Amino acid sequence: MFKTKVSFFILVAFIAATIFVIPSCKSDKKMAPTENAYKIVFLHHSTGHVIWKGKPTGLKSLTSIFSNYEFVPEWFADYNKTNGKEYFITEQNFPKAKPYGWNNYPFDYYNIWVKNAGNQPYLEESTLEMLTKDYDMIIFKHCFPVGNIVESADSANPESPEKTIQNYKSQYLALKEKMHEFPETKFLLWTAAALVEAQTNAGEAARTREFVDWVINEWDEEGDNIFLWDFYSLQTEGGRYLKPEYAVGENDSHPNGAFANKAAPLFCQRIVDVIETNGQKTGLSGESK
């Protein structure tokens, strides 16, 4: 009984200490960047948020009760401390639900960054002219409904939000030309997020794979300022669907915590390698070569 009481009081003391320690640590990681910091912004929605947060394990699963644990900024804080770097990474929903709408597909980046380019926001969303003034690297992605690609005639219209391979390609080509206008900024694009089998069909899955292959093998260019992180391959591991063990549920294409813990370190490694070597030391998924 005595040992039980002692153990209980030790646990309470540890938790109490944690409450006071964590805010200061968290504050350090949320500090504003210095003038010399390399500034990175990650534009995402819910799937990206899963990877950003990760899933705490071990001791961190206990301390995270009292803090807003986020894997990616934690990783960068540790990397900066170990390597004497000043990489400052932040994140934001893009576009916001209002007034633009909760859509971040190829059309939407084309619409905001190409069609409505300039020094003023479009429906309260920042253009590349604005973002590139504040950040050295811009990371962006699409939500998994990007894979609900319909079959269509062989024609392309970048002005159309219809999800077809032809439209996607025309929007990506315009986006690449636009990003090339900012050679001092690095861009890191996630390949398309995959869907679980129950949320798509064989035709859509095949077209998504075709689009991803086109992005990697044809759209991407060596020697420019645009780089890829192959999220799709991590999710599918050679298949065409989000693997069931990586999904929140059989009808939910959001990645789960286990997958986030696998993918998040690779994401961070890819970011750093793009900054430091233009991606020469990692593969497209972030693994070391």
Cβ atoms within 10 Å, residue 155: 10
pTM of the model as a whole = 0.86
Query: Alpha helix (H) ranges present in 44-193?
Result: 46-53, 59-63, 71-83, 106-110, 128-134, 165-179
**Cα gap 94→97, rounded to integer Å:** 8
**Which pLDDT does position 284 carry in this prediction?**
97
Are 129 and 118 spatial neighbours (Cβ–Cβ below 8 Å)?
yes
**Which pLDDT does position 152 carry in this prediction?**
86
- DSSP character string of 154-179: S---TT--S--HHHHHHHHHHHHHHH
Q: Which CATH number fits domain 39-277: 3.30.930.10, 3.20.20.70, 3.40.190.10, 3.40.50.1110?
A: 3.40.50.1110
Mean pLDDT of the 83-98 span: 97
31 pLDDT more than 80: no
User: Where along the chain do its domains lie?
Assistant: 39-277
Q: State the pLDDT confidence band at 30, using cuts at 50, 70 and 90.
A: low
Are 225 and 135 spatial neighbours (Cβ–Cβ below 8 Å)?
no
Mean pLDDT of the 66-70 span: 70
57 pLDDT more than 60: no
**Which pLDDT does position 33 carry in this prediction?**
80
Cβ atoms within 10 Å, residue 259: 21
Tokens standing for residue 236 = 């599918």
Tokens standing for residue 76 = 């960068």
User: How high does pLDDT run on average in the chain?
Assistant: 88
Mean pLDDT is lowest, of 59-63, 80-84, 94-98, 141-145, for: 59-63
pLDDT per residue as tens digits for the range 249-274: 999 999 999 999 999 999 999 999 99
Amino acid at 272: V
65 pLDDT more than 60: no
State how beta strands 137-140 and 38-44 pair.
Answer: parallel
**Which pLDDT does position 9 carry in this prediction?**
44
**Which pLDDT does position 14 carry in this prediction?**
47
Q: State the pLDDT confidence band at 130, using cuts at 50, 70 and 90.
A: very high
**Cα gap 22→68, rounded to integer Å:** 9
**Cα gap 249→13, rounded to integer Å:** 38
Mean pLDDT of the 172-186 span: 98
pLDDT per residue as tens digits for the range 104-124: 999 999 999 999 999 999 999
Q: Which residue has the higher pLDDT, 95 or 17?
A: 95
Looking at 150-243, which runs of residues are DSSP E strands? Answer: 186-190, 226-229
DSSP 288: B
3-state helix, strand, coil in the chain (%, to 5): 50, 15, 35
**Which pLDDT does position 60 carry in this prediction?**
55
Are 130 and 119 spatial neighbours (Cβ–Cβ below 8 Å)?
yes
Task: Give, rounded to a whole angstrom, the gap between the first and last alpha carbons of the chain.
Answer: 55
11 pLDDT more than 70: no
Q: Which residue has the higher pLDDT, 25 or 274?
A: 274
